Amino acid sequence: AQKVTQAQTEISVVEKEDVTLDCVYETRDTTYYLFWYKQPPSGELVFLIRRNSFDEQNEISGRYSWNFQKSTSSFNFTITASQVVDSAVYFCALSESRGSTLGRLYFGRGTQLTVWP
Amino acid sequence: DAMVIQNPRYQVTQFGKPVTLSCSQTLNHNVMYWYQQKSSQAPKLLFHYYDKDFNNEADTPDNFQSRRPNTSFCFLDIRSPGLGDAAMYLCATSSTHGQGKETQYFGPGTRLLVL
């Protein structure tokens, strides 16, 4: 069965602090995709990153970085020098790849990040 | 810019009065999805279109229907809204081809209020 766990329901930090959002997943498939989405108060789900199961390279994009470790089935997201605008709910999600067949997107419950000035 | 557009952003309807939410996309993606998201919860998939093929989730109430007249547009019809249907409705698209395949791109959502 597929499952995504975001154990942190809420995190509060002060601006300029670094913060890591945890994501642990379960899947029986050997080929799958992992995603992070940001949902600000406006409600739109903003795509942040997609990672293939066969690509374990960590990625950095500005203040954002992602640490993918297949050995621990984790795909953690770190924001460096957080800003008030980073305040949002962050969702981790898993999709299985089945060639030309659509794979469903399984969401975690989300982590509410609040960055205080 | 290529995008997913949802109209209206806010919709107020009366209990039992049919309502239609719309979604359009300029990404030319072949898959379109409708999600329901209630407060403090993850999005819940209602159904999706894979090209013209409609795929309903097993637990989606019959009260919810969808239409996809062409590649660009998809509609969510709620035949008799109940108070429990008040939620954010999110439309998403993805492609089964290309380098970024299966990444779902979401619209801004429609907040539905049922009075």
Q: Are A22 and A110 spatial neighbours (Cβ–Cβ below 8 Å)? A: no
Residue A85 C-alpha, separation from nearest chain B C-alpha, in angstroms: 17
What is the pLDDT averaged over residues A36-40?
96
Place of tokens 């794979």: A103
Q: How far is residue A39's CA from residue A91's CA, in Å, rounded to a whole number?
A: 8
What backbone torsions phi and psi does residue A85 show, to the nearest 5 degrees? -70, -10
Tokens of A53: 């199961």
Query: Minimal Cα distance from B41: which residue of A?
Result: A109
Check if A41 contacts B (Cβ < 8 Å): no
What is the pLDDT averaged over residues A11-40?
94
Residues B20-77 pLDDT 10s: 999 999 999 999 999 999 999 999 999 999 899 998 988 999 999 999 999 999 999 9
Lowest mean pLDDT among A30-34, A45-49, B29-33, B76-80: A30-34
Q: How far is residue A67's CA from residue A77's CA, in Å, rounded to a whole number?
A: 7
Q: Which residues from A are below 8 Å from B40, CB to CB?
A: 110
Please report the pLDDT score of residue B98 as a whole number: 72
Q: How far is residue B19's CA from residue B36's CA, in Å, rounded to a whole number?
A: 15
- Residue B87, strand partner residues: B112
Say whether pLDDT at A97 is over 80. no
Evaluate the omega torsion of the peptide bond into residue B8 and state whether it is cis, within 30 degrees of 0.
Answer: yes
